[in-house]
Every structure is written in C-alpha cells, then in structure tokens.
Homo-oligomer: A and B are copies of this chain.
Amino acid sequence: MARTNKTQFAVLGCLSIRPMSAYEIKHFMQGTTHYFWMEHEAQLYPTLSKLHDAKFVSCREEEAEKSGIRKIYKITAKGKSALTEWLIKSEEPVSYRNEFLLKLFFGDKVDTKFMRKKIETYAASLSQELHLFEHLIDELHSVKVSEKRRFFIEATIRYGIKSKQAEIAWCHETQAMLKKLK
C-alpha cells in the first residue's frame, strides 16, 4: 500500500483558512502548527505546483511587497472536497521515533550521572516548549476567529500542554527514582 502524501493536505488546510503564497504558508505554519506539523520550502513550492496542475488550487499573481511577483494560491471547490475527504478518513499508523527514549533504553551502558544530566536537559527543553504553548493560548485570545475555529485551535494547544506536563512529571519522577538507584 502506497503512503499518501500528507503535505498536500497540510497545504490545502492552510489555504482553507485564506488564500496564501508559499512563503506565507511557511510563516503561517511556523506560527500555528509548527509543534505538530512543519513543511520545508523545498516541499511547498513543488506541492503547490502539483495542486495547481490537479486543479485543487487556483493561482493569482500579484506585485510582491519588495520585489518581483508573489503567487497567491486559493483553494478550489475540488480542493475543498479533497480536504474534507482526508479530514474524515482515519489515519494510517505511522512509526513514531524518539531518540531520547532510545538513548534512555540503553542508559545502563554509561555512568548514571550522564543520564541524570540528559533527563535534566530534556526536562528543561520540555518546560520551554510548555511556555511556548501558554504563550500561544494567550495569543489566541486576541485573534479574531469563529467560536468553532477557536475551539479546534485551542484543542491542539491543550494537547501540547497536557502532553508536555505529563512528560515533565515523568522527568521529575524518574530523576527521583534515579537518586534512589545504587
């Protein structure tokens, strides 16, 4: 079974919010979906071309802010139905990889102090991410969107907050247990 390319749906999703250029999509993702979905420019440009060829998006060129042209893409009816179809469909399972856990699994191969340090660093980065989520929630208050739209944006942020909190709790618990070990 072939893997279906999800980049196209991420792009269609963004364009369902409002028409955007490739550059804008990148910045939009950076500000909203970056903690669960991010695309590289090298994927965005060819994906938009393909979506345009397939009539999922239309394209309008306008003067760029500083120089040259800017290609604004807009989702078509065909694109919208493709997006809806994907939204409703169930996800194919994907393999999740966590390098930190992989190292931890082999943690007995090195001195305990290294793993204590590793968990500490990991906890610190989790806290930073958690702060970012709390900032995103604050930001959301000042954004003008429909109640329904707001609900789903907030749901993804709450997901991030709950996950990070659980992971941070695990870090503390594990550090405490490590101290008792040996």
Residues of B within 8 A of A9 (CB): 102
Tell whether, in the assembled complex, residue B110 and residue A87 are in contact, meaning their CB atoms are under 8 Å apart.
Answer: yes
Measured CB to CB, the closest approach of chain B to A92, in angstroms, equals: 8
Q: Is A138 an interface residue (CB 8 A)?
A: no
Of A18-26, A47-55, A56-64, A170-178, the one with at least 4 CB within 8 A of chain B: A170-178
Chain B residue with the shortest CB-CB distance to A10: B102
Q: Is A2 an interface residue (CB 8 A)?
A: no
Tell whether, in the assembled complex, residue A100 and residue B110 are in contact, meaning their CB atoms are under 8 Å apart.
Answer: no
Report how far A44 CA is from B181 CA in the complex, Å.
34
Residues of A within 8 A of B (CB): 6, 9-10, 13, 16, 32-33, 35-38, 80, 83-84, 86-88, 90-91, 94-110, 112, 114-115, 118, 121, 146-149, 151-153, 155-156, 158-159, 162-163, 165-167, 169-170, 173-174, 177-178, 181-182
